[in-house]
Amino acid sequence: MIPASFDYVAPQSLEEAVRALADHGEEAKLLAGGHSLLPLMKLRLANPKLLIDLSRISGLRGIRHEDDKIIVGALTTHYQIESSELVKEKCPLLSQTAGAIGDVQVRNRGTIGGSLTHADPSADWPAAILALGGELKLSGPKGERRLAAEDFFLAPMTTAIEPTEILTEIRVPVLSQRCGSAYLKMAQQASGFALVAIAVWLRLGRSRLVEEIGIGVTGLGEKPFRAQAVEEFVRGNKLTPKLIEASASQVAEGIEPLEDLHAAAKFRTHLARVYTSRAIQEAAKKIKN
């Protein structure tokens, strides 16, 4: 199908984009990589009166290291994150996640900000950003604000971002020494989206006890979430096969699993437990003694 007619602007600055969005509100849509929005427009499930193309705002791209944070611009592509040596060294979970997204064409065009704001319940990025305890920076007519990832995702395709706000950057912690991470998923083969995916990072102390752990889950419930029950089960303990298996069994606690034509709820729950166990083991293996 062909999208309905719309007006188009390509702001040169963030301030100009914010003004355009404020002037048109919910009648406008932001264009980042286009992988989520354009298919919806072709199906006429989205019919914006104005398309605001963010691609000319250079300040929304790039990856930098400030203090103990890695800061990623919202227009940074999946491939740029996957291939960044800075990311591989300082926060490899981002690189691991980016490499699991779609195919080469998707990774070269799609953006982290576009994926996060689209908030598909089976998207990859939310799991990693939740696991890391990430923070999202939003800009709007009233200025800037920062929002914890756990407060950002509200429901399927729904976030806490206001209609007149723009996601500008994502902040995640640097993973220090004795940290390991992993992102594992069972993908729906036609789309590459996750039936279930698990993002894990953990830090071991000198006695091999788990000092800290973060686990993000996507594909299992109506929105991505942090598996706090599993984290609490593991934190402060030594990783053993028995402990990992017991902790992974808690991953669906309090969650109503999705059921659709791709997978039954019971199967998704089984996958989540299996992949949680595998991801914890994989993250632990990557820790250098």
Residue 49 shares a structural domain with residue 62: no
Q: What is the pLDDT of residue 44?
A: 85
Query: Do the domain assignments include residue 2?
Result: no
Q: Which amino acid is at 182?
A: A
Share of the chain residues as helix, strand and coil, in percent rounded to the nearest 5: 35, 30, 35
Same domain for 207 and 271? yes
76: helix, strand or coil:
coil
Mean pLDDT by runs of 10 across the 289 residues of the chain is 86 95 89 82 85 92 96 97 97 97 90 95 96 98 96 96 95 94 92 92 92 97 96 96 97 94 94 98 89
Assess if residue 189 is contained within a domain. yes
Predicted TM-score of the model (pTM): 0.94
Distances (CA, A) of 160 to 51, 217, 220, 222: 21, 19, 20, 15
Report pLDDT for 3: 80
Q: What CATH number does residue 201 fall under?
A: 3.30.390.50
Residue 67 burial (CB count, 10 A): 7
Q: Which range of residues forms the domain containing residue 231?
A: 179-284
Number of domains in the chain: 3
Q: Which one of 173, 191, 216 terminates a domain?
A: 173
pLDDT at site 26: 83
Asked whether residue 69 falls in the same domain as residue 22, the answer is no
Q: Are 160 and 152 in contact (CB under 8 A)?
A: yes
What sections of 73-178 are H helices per DSSP?
Answer: 78-83, 85-90, 92-98, 104-109, 112-118, 125-131, 149-152
Q: What local confidence, expressed as pLDDT, does residue 45 receive?
A: 81
Domain final residue pick, 155, 173, 191: 173
Has residue 263 been placed in a domain? yes
Q: Residue 133 corresponds to which tokens in the numbers above?
A: 């305890």
Question: Looking at the domain assignment, is residue 1 inside a domain?
Answer: no
Q: What does the pLDDT read at residue 289? A: 62
168 shares its domain with 77: yes
What is the enclosing helix (H) or strand (E) of 217?
Answer: strand 210-218
Q: Which of 118, 153, 173 is the last residue of a domain?
A: 173
Please indicate, yes or no, whether residues 123 and 91 belong to a single structural domain of this protein. Answer: yes
Among left, alpha and beta (phi > 0; psi -120 to 50; other), residue 122 is: alpha
Distance, CA of 75 to CA of 58 (rounded, Å): 9
Question: Does residue 185 fall inside a structural domain?
Answer: yes
Query: Same domain, yes or no, for 49 and 63?
Result: no
Domain assignment present for 260: yes
* 289 domain-assigned: no
234 and 189 housed in the same domain: yes
Please indicate, yes or no, whether residues 32 and 47 belong to a single structural domain of this protein: yes
Please name the residues in contact with 250: beta carbons below 8 A apart, sequence gap of 6 or more: 227, 229, 230, 233
Written as six digits, the tokens of 5 are: 């007619």
Q: List the CATH number of the domain containing 147.
A: 3.30.465.10
Place of tokens 């398309």: 51
Residue pair 87/73 in contact (Cβ under 8 Å)? The answer is no
Do residues 144 and 185 both lie within one domain?
Answer: no
Do 62 and 49 fall into the same domain?
Answer: no
Does some domain include residue 201?
Answer: yes
If asked whether residues 156 and 227 sit together in one domain, one would say: no
Task: Examine the domain organization and report whether 151 and 106 are in the same domain.
Answer: yes
